[in-house]
Amino acid sequence: MGFLKNLFGGGSAKSEKRYYVFNVKCKRCGEIIEGRVDLDNDLSLEFEGDRNVYFVRKGLMGSGRCFQQIEVEMQFTSNRELVERQAQGGTFVE
The contact set with Zn ion (CB under 5 A) reads 26, 28-29, 31, 62, 66, 68
For the chain, list the strands marked E by DSSP: 19-26, 32-38, 44-48, 51-61, 69-76, 82-88, 90-93
Sequence-separated (6 or more) residues with CB below 8 Å from residue 65: none
Closest to Zn ion by CB, 28 vs 58, is 28
Q: How far is the CB of 32 from Zn ion (least distance, A)?
A: 10
Q: How far is the CB of 66 from Zn ion (least distance, A)?
A: 3
As beta bridge partners, residue 3 has none
Closest to Zn ion by CB, 39 vs 66, is 66
Q: How far is the CB of 74 from Zn ion (least distance, A)?
A: 20
Closest to Zn ion by CB, 28 vs 85, is 28
As beta bridge partners, residue 84 has 75
